[in-house]
Amino acid sequence: MAKIAYTDKVSIVSNPNPLTNKVTSADLNEIKTSVNSLYDVTGHIVYTDEVNDTDNKQVLTASVSNIITVVDTTPDKTQSPLALGNGDLWVGNKITPIASGDAYVLRIDFDASISNSNGHFEIKIDIGGLIGIVLAGSSTFPKGANVTQPFTFTYLIYCKDTFKANGGNIIIVPSHTMNIWNKELVLNRVHAGR
């Protein structure tokens, strides 16, 4: 459904039918407001790392939590949630929700290599505080050691008060030394907290 573009309706004719059988100007204006507000709360921003590429890879230390960095001074905000204003959903290498109760689809893409043929890694979101890890997954390197492999992960995440207050770091814990580069994040707000 497209955004409703008409100016507010006003009643111009009295109708003898009972009010329960009428569509009033107030009803139409309420529908317009409700539908159009959906365009204000959803949307996405694309962050493409400007630092780590094939010549300058982010090195991740084995068996420890490594925070994934994505530095993008000009993210693609052409479809960002209008409710965000001029803000960002990724600040200081953290997912930064707009409101408690929000839900987001996160997609993270990167190229990587690992120093061992049996290499694997865990990917997590850490919101700190008493809660800590709110999401975790794992992956392997089926092509072997020191071979570039593309990765894409997509997660639905929801945000409560701790996530809103602290933000969320994307963490990778590799089994062996791991390099990542060509990192891109897409954060899509799919639900606004109420």
CA distances 93 to 78, 135, 138, 155, 171, Å, are 21, 17, 21, 17, 10
DSSP 53: B
Each domain of the chain, given as residue ranges in start order, spans: 1-41, 43-191
How confident is the model at residue 68, as a pLDDT? 98
Report residue 49 CA to chain centroid gap: 15
Q: Which two tokens stand for residue 95?
A: 């997912």
The two beta strands, 66-67 and 76-79, are unpaired
Q: pLDDT under 50 in the chain at which residues?
A: none
How confident is the model at residue 136, as a pLDDT? 96
Question: What is the second-level CATH architecture of the domain 43-191?
Answer: Sandwich (2.60)
pTM beyond 0.75: the answer is yes
How confident is the model at residue 26, as a pLDDT? 78
How confident is the model at residue 1, as a pLDDT? 58
How confident is the model at residue 85, as a pLDDT? 86
How confident is the model at residue 12, as a pLDDT? 58
Q: What is the 3-state secondary structure (H, E, C) of 66-131?
A: EECCCCCCCCEEEECCHHHCCCCCEECCEECCCCCCCEEEEEEEEEEEECCCCCEEEEEEECCCCC
Quote the CA–CA distance of 164 and 5 in Å, as a whole number.
33
